[in-house]
Each structure stands twice: as structure tokens, then as C-alpha cells.
Amino acid sequence: MSILPIYKKVAIFSKNSKDAKEFSKDLNLWFKSKGLESEVIEDVKDLEKESIKNLDILFVVGGDGTLLIASRRVSKYGIPLVGINLGRLGFLTEVAKEDAFRQVEELLSKPLCVSKRMMLRATLKRDGKEILTADVLNDVIVNKAIIARIVDVAVYVGDRYITTYNGDGVIVSTPTGSTGYALSAGGPIVYPSLDVFVLVPICSHTLTARPMILPTYEPITIKMVSENKDAWLTLDGQEGTQLFYGDEIIVKQSPYYAYIVRTPNKSYFDILREKMNWR
């Protein structure tokens, strides 16, 4: 096999671990031996540099969490992401470390098989002012602080009130994120190429509260209605911001997509069987 000439410039974003750094160094040398322009990126801030948009492919060495970090920063450039799994589960990073060089060479010997994944845009408003806005691939989570017994969140679709969840919080997930925290909270598995919201209450004190699949043409608004109680907004399980009474979190479909490179000989259902131990 030979690497197609359409791929000229690649980069490797490495998890901050000794194993990942050593593997990334070897992969970088291998790319250069194949005639590709390649570099290893270890500082996440370097993913936000203007030069990143010129990449043909970004290889992510680590686990799904490392790929989520990369996707939030490079999705606006439409750069395909190849995940090489050094983590545990690896729904997104499906290339195994043990067979990575062979699989990567096979991937680059033909046009890429890319899965287009919707992302969320979350905006936090406090006293009418925007505190933050961020795009995420997996989920937007509102859950109670450690000292809070429960948290009350009122949820709206568009300007229509749905209900107030009393419990540990609520998750708004993408189909990609449906196999993450949302699944642990009782949510459904949603095929990842769909464009829908997955709304999942966390440990609701109302037994009739159930997950919902919602269209993306109207935003979901989560309002903090607990007096004297606080909670946290967590983005992709990695970036947290404390919430207070009266805060509003507006979740829309992001204008950006994540482009995840798939191994052509493995379907999404193959991955589910492997990761979920289905037979």
C-alpha cells in the first residue's frame, strides 16, 4: 500500500502521558518516512493556532476524552479526526494502538471514510449577560454541586415549557454522546449520524420523568430555579462552570460538525457489539 498524494500535511495531538508521547513520536517519524509533513502537538493551545486549518488530517492519540478536546477546537476548520485508542473504551478512538501503523496506512491509501457528527452550542446567561459560549461534541450537563441534595431545573423547548426536573440534574446530548453519560443515566443509544437532541434527566425524583429525543430546529433552555442551591455546568465532561439561581443555559445545534474518520471494515454496530459486549 502507498499513501495517496492528496494527504500532504498531518499533525498528531497527544494525550499528556508518557505512553502517548512515546507513541506519537514514533508515529511522527513514520509519517515523515512516508513523505508527509508532520508534527506532534502536545499543548492544547496550539490546536487553536491559525496554521491548524491547513491540516489534511489530525491524528489523536489517547482516549475518547482526548478526541473530545481536539474536536472542540478544530471543528470550525472541518479537519478530519483519526482516533488512536490508548484509553479504555474507545467509541470514538477506534484504531487500536497494537495495529495502528497498519490501519493508518490502510486508511491513507484511499479516500477517507468520514462520519459527520453534529455538535452542540451551549450559552450560559446570567442576569441577561452571556457568561460563556462553547461548542461540544458529546454533551451539556447540568448537575448538582456536592453540597446540594437535589437541584431543580426548568426545561423549555423553544418558548414552550416542558417540566421542572427535581433530582441530580439533566443532560442534553448529541447522538455521539448518547453512549456516554446519557447512557449511564438511562438514555437511549442514538445512531451517531442523526441530527437530534437527546434530553435525559439524571436520577429524577419523579418516576415518570423519561428521556426524550427532540428536533434541533428549536433550542433547549435550562433554567436554574432552585433557591439557595447551586449546581455545575459541565461541557463534554471536561470543562466546568458553577451555576446559580436564575442562570439560563441555552443549547442549540452548533453550526460546526466533527468529522470522525471510520475504519471502512468496521460498522457502528460492530463497535457497539465490541464495546457493549453484545453477542
- Type of residue at 236: D
DSSP 3-state percent helix, strand, coil across the chain (nearest 5): 25, 40, 35
Three-state secondary structure call for residue 139: strand
Strands 114-126 and 129-136: antiparallel
Question: Where do we find the cell 460546526?
Answer: 256
- Type of residue at 97: K
Cell of 244: 446559580
* Residues taking part in catalysis: 64
Cα-Cα-Cα-Cα dihedral sign, residues 121, 267, 9, 87: positive
d(CA 257, CA 52): 16
d(CA 236, CA 64): 10
What number of other Cβ atoms are within 10 A of residue 236's Cβ?
Answer: 25
